[in-house]
Chains A and B, each alone.
Chain A
Amino acid sequence: MSATSVLPDRAREMRPSAAPHGTPAARLHAVTKRYGQNTALDGLSLHLYPGEVVALLGPNGAGKTTAVRLLLGLISPTAGSVRVMGRDPRDSDARTRIGAMLQVTRVPEMLRVREHIDLFRSYYPHPLPAAEIVRIAKLEGLEERMFGRLSGGQKQRVLFGLALCGNPDLVFLDEPTVGMDIESRRSLWDEIRALSASGKTVLLTTHYLEEADMLASRIVVVNKGKVICEGTPAQIKHRVSGRRIRCVTQLEPGFLRSLPTVADVQQDREAVVVTAEHPESVVREMLLRDPGLHSLEVSAAALEDAFLALTATDSHQPNAAPQSQPHS
Chain B
Amino acid sequence: MATLAVAHRPQPFTAGYYARLFRKETQYEILKMLRTRMFSISVIGFPVMFYLLFGATNRHSDYARYLLAGYSCFGAVSACLFGMGMGIALERAQGWMELKQASPLPRLAYLGAKTISCALFGLITTAVLLVLGITMGGVHLHAAETARLFLVVFAGSLPFCAMGLLIALIVPANSAPGMINLINLPMSFASGLWMPIDILPHWLQRIAPALPMYHFAQIALRIFGFARPGSALPHWEALAGFTCVMLGIAWVVFTRSEARS
* A interface with B by C-beta (< 8 Å): 35, 69, 72-75, 92, 95-96, 98, 100, 102-108, 110-111, 115, 118-120, 122-126, 159, 162, 166, 328
Residues of A within 8 A of B35 (CB): 110-111
Residues of B within 8 A of A106 (CB): 90, 94-96
Query: B1-28 toward A: CB 8 Å interface, digit per residue (1/0)?
Result: 0000000010011100100110111001
Query: Does B31 touch A at the CB level, under 8 Å?
Result: yes
Contact between chains at B21 and A122 (CB < 8 Å) = yes
Contact between chains at A92 and B106 (CB < 8 Å) = yes
Our pick among B23, B90, B98, B104 for the contact of A123 (Cβ within 8 Å) is: B104
Contact between chains at A110 and B32 (CB < 8 Å) = yes
Contact between chains at B12 and A96 (CB < 8 Å) = yes
Number of A-B contacts (CB under 8 A): 87
Residues of A within 8 A of B9 (CB): 125-126
Q: How far apart sit A74 and B257, CA to CA, in the bound complex (Å)? A: 12
Q: How far apart sit A162 and B105, CA to CA, in the bound complex (Å)? A: 13
Residues of A within 8 A of B106 (CB): 92
Query: Does B175 touch A at the CB level, under 8 Å?
Result: no
Q: How far apart sit A96 and B14, CA to CA, in the bound complex (Å)? A: 13
A102-B98, A125-B17, A126-B12 as given contacts; A120 in contact with B28, CB under 8 Å: no
Our pick among B12, B14, B36, B104 for the contact of A110 (Cβ within 8 Å) is: B36
- A-B CB proximity, top 9 nearest: A125-B12, A328-B261, A110-B35, A122-B24, A106-B94, A95-B104, A104-B95, A72-B102, A100-B102
Contact between chains at B102 and A328 (CB < 8 Å) = no
Query: Does B260 touch A at the CB level, under 8 Å?
Result: yes
- Would you list 12 pairs from A and B whose C-beta atoms are within 8 A, ordered by A residue? A74-B261, A92-B13, A92-B106, A98-B102, A104-B98, A110-B35, A120-B103, A122-B20, A122-B24, A125-B9, A125-B17, A328-B261
Shortest C-beta distance, B93 to chain A (Å), equals 8
* B interface with A by C-beta (< 8 Å): 9, 12-14, 17, 20-21, 23-25, 28, 31-32, 35-36, 90-91, 93-96, 98-99, 101-106, 257, 260-261
Contact between chains at A74 and B32 (CB < 8 Å) = no
Most B Cβ at <10 Å: residue of A103, A104, A108, A126: A108
Judged by DSSP, the binding face of B is helix
19 further A-B contacts with Cβ under 8 Å, apart from A73-B102, A111-B28, are: A74-B98, A92-B13, A92-B106, A95-B103, A98-B102, A100-B99, A102-B95, A104-B95, A104-B99, A105-B94, A105-B95, A106-B94, A106-B95, A108-B96, A122-B25, A123-B21, A123-B104, A124-B103, A159-B99
Residues of A within 8 A of B104 (CB): 92, 95-96, 123-125, 166
Q: For residue A104, which residue of chain B has the nearest CB?
A: B95
Contact between chains at B31 and A111 (CB < 8 Å) = yes
Q: How far apart sit A1 and B36, CA to CA, in the bound complex (Å)? A: 48
Q: How far apart sit A166 and B23, CA to CA, in the bound complex (Å)? A: 18
Q: How far apart sit A124 and B103, CA to CA, in the bound complex (Å)? A: 8
Our pick among A35, A74, A96, A118 for the contact of B101 (Cβ within 8 Å) is: A74
Q: How far apart sit A102 and B93, CA to CA, in the bound complex (Å)? A: 14
Most A Cβ at <10 Å: residue of B9, B93, B98: B98
Q: For residue B101, which residue of chain A has the nearest CB?
A: A74
Residues of B within 8 A of A119 (CB): 24-25, 28
Residues of B within 8 A of A104 (CB): 94-96, 98-99
Shortest C-beta distance, A150 to chain B (Å), equals 15
Shortest C-beta distance, A91 to chain B (Å), equals 10
Shortest C-beta distance, A41 to chain B (Å), equals 14
Q: How far apart sit A233 and B234, CA to CA, in the bound complex (Å)? A: 70
Most B Cβ at <10 Å: residue of A102, A110, A124, A162: A110
